[in-house]
């Protein structure tokens, strides 16, 4: 991220409303020409930098509340702190990087792009993921990747209970321990194609010194795609 760029547009949430700030970030106030923004005094406000659809860079200098960087498309957004529930929810493309911890449902329903969490992620990380990628450098909470359909989650730490419950074709890589696996989530072999994609994701997340060979892979056992009476207790 280009937080030191001298041409950055400074947006002070201590002086301006969130509505005006997001309008500036979205270019409606004509201040998006530089392509670089620096948001100061965020104060944990909700929905900062939502709905961006241009290749701009945004540095949020502090903690963010719920749904920061939601519906992101093309933009590169950094949170120099922690973020609340739903960070990068429904992201389409671009990069969202959080230096601290994040709350529940990080990256929920994301169709594309990359979310990098420098700390830990709470419950339901990657819920209903539809094609985006998430790299968490710490731990993830219970029910992470619940009903994830496509995309990948990489966890450098541990994963909580019910990991990958009712997962479809998404892939999960975990370096640490696993609480329990969710319904129809099974461990799968790590082959050369998986090592290659994992190496690429780790490099993109700034984890060049992490060995891709240290991870285990998890995915769908493909037993819940169609209703079967004998699997009733698993639904």
- Backbone phi, then psi, for 12, in 5-degree steps? -105, 110
Q: 128-149 pLDDT, tens per residue?
A: 999 999 999 999 999 999 999 9
| Euclidean distance between CA atoms 137 and 216, whole angstroms | 15
Query: What's residue 157's pLDDT?
Result: 98
Q: What DSSP element (H or E) covers 204?
A: helix 192-204
Q: Is 234 helix (H, G, I), strand (E, B) or coil?
A: helix
Q: In whole angstroms, what is the distance from residue 5 CA to residue 137 CA? A: 27
Model-level pTM? Answer: 0.93
Binned at pLDDT 50, 70 and 90, residue 200 comes out as very high
Residue ranges and CATH numbers for the domains of the chain are 9-225 (2.160.20.60)
- Quick one: residue 40, left, alpha or beta (phi over 0 = left, psi -120 to 50 = alpha)? beta
CB atoms within 10 A of CB 169: 11
In this structure, what token pair is assigned to residue 196?
């290659």
Beta strands in 80-146 (DSSP E): 95-98, 114-117, 130-136
Determine contact, residues 221/166, Cβ cutoff 8 Å. no
Q: Is the pLDDT confidence value at 104 over 50?
A: yes
DSSP state of 226: S
SS3 196: helix
CA 57 to chain centre: 17
- The three-state secondary structure class of 24 is helix
Question: Two tokens at 101?
Answer: 């911890």
139 φ/ψ angles, rounded to the nearest 5 degrees? -105, 160
pLDDT at 6: 62
* Listed range (22-26, 46-50, 149-153, 207-211) with the worst mean pLDDT: 22-26
Least confident window among 9-23, 30-44, 188-202: 30-44
């Amino acid at each position: 991220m280009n937080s030191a760029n001298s041409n950055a547009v400074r947006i002070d949430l201590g002086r301006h409303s969130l509505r005006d700030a997001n309008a500036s970030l979205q270019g409606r106030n004509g201040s998006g020409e530089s392509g670089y923004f620096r948001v100061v005094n965020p104060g944990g406000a909700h929905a900062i930098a939502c709905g961006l659809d241009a290749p701009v860079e945004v540095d949020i200098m502090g903690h963010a509340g719920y749904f920061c960087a939601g519906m992101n498309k093309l933009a590169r957004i950094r949170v120099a702190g922690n973020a609340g529930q739903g960070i990068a929810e429904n992201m389409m493309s671009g990069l969202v990087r959080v230096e601290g911890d994040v709350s529940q449902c990080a990256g929920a329903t994301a169709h594309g792009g990359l979310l990098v969490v420098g700390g830990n992620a709470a419950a339901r990380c990657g819920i209903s993921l539809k094609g985006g990628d998430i790299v968490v450098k710490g731990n993830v909470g219970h029910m992470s990747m619940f009903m994830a359909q496509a995309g990948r989650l990489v966890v450098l730490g541990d994963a909580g209970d019910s990991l990958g419950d009712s997962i479809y074709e998404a892939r999960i890589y975990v370096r640490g321990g696993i609480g329990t696996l969710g319904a129809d989530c099974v461990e799968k072999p790590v082959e050369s194609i998986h090592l290659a994609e994992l190496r690429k994701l780790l490099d993109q997340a700034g984890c060049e010194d992490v060995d891709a060979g240290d991870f285990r892979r998890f995915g769908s056992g493909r037993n819940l795609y169609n209703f079967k009476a004998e699997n009733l207790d698993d639904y």
